Chains A and B, each alone.
Chain A
């Protein structure tokens, strides 16, 4: 592989990996804040324990999300220095603001929240977790503004002598239609992800009749968040498709494997066979009339441009070359995202029906399946980003710079191989550790402390708080509320 391919491979891997953790952070921070608010409002200690329980899952994720985000930032300069040099004055702005406005907020208050349970007033401590939740969502806003600029550059002029794009309107970046829809899509998808995790964990416990009273509550809360968010996101996603169809018609044409322009009433194929790079006549199966026109233009008789026509236009505008992204990836990432999204929606409807009939905590099949549904948002999120980023190719900034021109010329294939191997090794270790810890912590009972041994040696729970003291050992199966081990965990050890 040449340096360009390696650099692309590395960035794609980092982004996909990073975005496994980001939505969990955004989603769970919000849900934990909700739980803690419930505790603050009615003083029921179960909510405090639940907030801590899901808070520990949040922390496992944040740790990896933060460090992989740092890699992404560095990679712009390391692997894509020509890109950074050309557009840093536009693209770097939102990144710096992200750090200054959002990361500081998120990280500082997360630290205070973790260690502040017994040191702050209830109100101040609650404010901390809400500031963390706000920080995660703000940070997504800045990075999405930067990314949307790559999809649809706005708010700049081109310098006459250097041909460099120069920022001239910062507000344009935050009113970019691609940003407004894309950001909404990402944040709502994160809430879906967080809710699916909370539901899956709650269902795992309810199925085993463990701490039914507590996990029934989180099952209900997560259902209340899941159903509307997943429904809303199907709508937002399709609107985003319309917006992108307007600014990046190639992206939509490739997602449909539509080689020649369809003048009106374009149908949507549910599946196709073939349709790889040079296969312009794939066998399309189960075509839904008019659906493509609706998805791409919001009108049943809208015109959808084909790849070949667009390519000819682009060649006229930007010079000779192939401007068609990888059609296979585009076609299938779109379908994986949309179909699995619909599946989550149907599952949420099922859950809502059970909830309505007051059977959610006893529906064996639903509870058995819910932990597996947790996998779906991750697949959907990944497919969504592949759709977005692959569809932008061969541009690194749509219409302004080709990806192949953005790579660092001073970085050799050897350098890239070394970094790729180092990062992959670390990703593997971190991924396995994080997943293993998530499962381990997800399965314990609330109020349980897996570090009970250390804690119970050190103390019997802080007496000053007046909550039930430690019973010495802990069992994750029979620990019911009230009799469970005190969860004043390692944090209380010293603060």
Chain B
């Protein structure tokens, strides 16, 4: 291996965008899945969804950029990955559409059937996306039938590798954990209590699946017994998140869950390096950074753009989170549903009043 070059840098950037996408959108997937269960009426569900209302769209752009980064920096990887995962991505796109539109459309019309259709679109869509993308990312490491011209030679069923499915499950559960812990930070009253209970239960499950995931990488995929630091960190963080969730240390639970998510996605990418997509047909057909990266001019241009704009993006996205940092309460309906949610000033827009 030569020194660290631009191709390696862009592999790391791609990994950061995928991990960033799962960290940020992870909790709004979690919120999307949980809103049907933690919210028990339209109003509560709306409050739950509104905890991510201002930010989910910006979070989703991380996926667009994660895809586009691979397109620009590793066209060969983009081509093989997206055409291999074809039907899985069709479902991801369908789920993204149904869910994305649901945020806006669900509230636009007050009719039980309209509301419940969009509600389930939100719930199921939010579950399918991390699951299927997790399957796809897991498959990159597990290996797919790819021939010498880097074309996929399998079918949809070949995508459902056991390791891929487990990766999908892991990301799904971690999204739930992030969503539940996020809700403990952003709600009050009964919603808050339910979110707390949910996060404790999900935390225990998350430890199991994450432990399984890390073990599978090392034992199942025989990458050696010694875990990489990022993997150890990921697993420790998930354990910490579960513990903090049951101890009601909400801020710590969410932070640890986020680190756990980043560590899990990071684990996939760090095990892949310097490959980007493994061929189960022959190691000679693996896609690597070297054989799929763009020429250096493109990478240099992209580096300049990223160095200038990425920090700016981080600043204004962080500002967005800062603006909407307050907890949300259920407005008083008839006065009996959420006593402790009613703010002292008498107005029901708690966050606004404080």
Partner of B297, one of A97, A99, A168, A433: A168
- Cβ proximity bits A3-21 to B, threshold 8 Å, 1 near / 0 not: 0000000000000000000
A95 to B42, CA, bound (A): 39
Cβ contact within 8 Å between A88 and B294: yes
Report if A454 contacts B (CB, 8 A).
yes
- Across-interface contacts of A100 in B (CB, < 8 A): 65, 68, 305-306, 309-310, 313
Query: Nearest CB to that of B319 among chain A residues?
Result: A112
- Cβ proximity bits A449-462 to B, threshold 8 Å, 1 near / 0 not: 01101100111001
**B182 → A minimal CB distance (Å):** 15
Cβ contact within 8 Å between A99 and B82: no
Cβ contact within 8 Å between A166 and B65: no
A116 to B351, CA, bound (A): 12
A109 to B80, CA, bound (A): 34
In the complex where A78-B83, A119-B352, A495-B349 touch, is A92 in contact with B75 (Cβ < 8 A)? yes
Cβ contact within 8 Å between B329 and A104: no
**B195 → A minimal CB distance (Å):** 15
Report if A239 contacts B (CB, 8 A).
no
Residues of chain B at the chain A interface (Cβ within 8 Å) = 42-43, 46-47, 50, 53-58, 60-61, 63-65, 67-69, 71-76, 78-84, 86-87, 89-91, 93-94, 96-98, 100-101, 103-105, 107-110, 150-153, 156, 294-295, 297-298, 301-302, 305-306, 309-310, 313, 316-317, 320, 323-324, 326, 328-329, 331-334, 345-353
**A53 → B minimal CB distance (Å):** 14
- Ordered by A's residue number, 20 sampled pairs between the chains whose C-beta atoms are within 8 Å are A60-B104, A63-B105, A67-B93, A70-B96, A76-B82, A77-B81, A78-B89, A85-B80, A88-B72, A92-B294, A95-B68, A99-B64, A99-B65, A99-B69, A118-B352, A119-B324, A167-B294, A167-B298, A410-B152, A494-B50
- Cβ proximity bits A86-107 to B, threshold 8 Å, 1 near / 0 not: 1111111101111111011101
A116 to B104, CA, bound (A): 16
Cβ contact within 8 Å between B86 and A462: no
Partner of A115, one of B53, B89, B109, B306: B53
Known: A96-B305, A100-B68. 13 other contacts (CB 8 A): A63-B105, A77-B78, A77-B83, A91-B71, A101-B305, A103-B61, A108-B58, A108-B61, A114-B53, A114-B54, A119-B352, A409-B151, A463-B347
Cβ contact within 8 Å between B75 and A96: no
Cβ contact within 8 Å between B83 and A426: no
A68 to B68, CA, bound (A): 15
A168 to B296, CA, bound (A): 10
Partner of A96, one of B68, B96, B351: B68
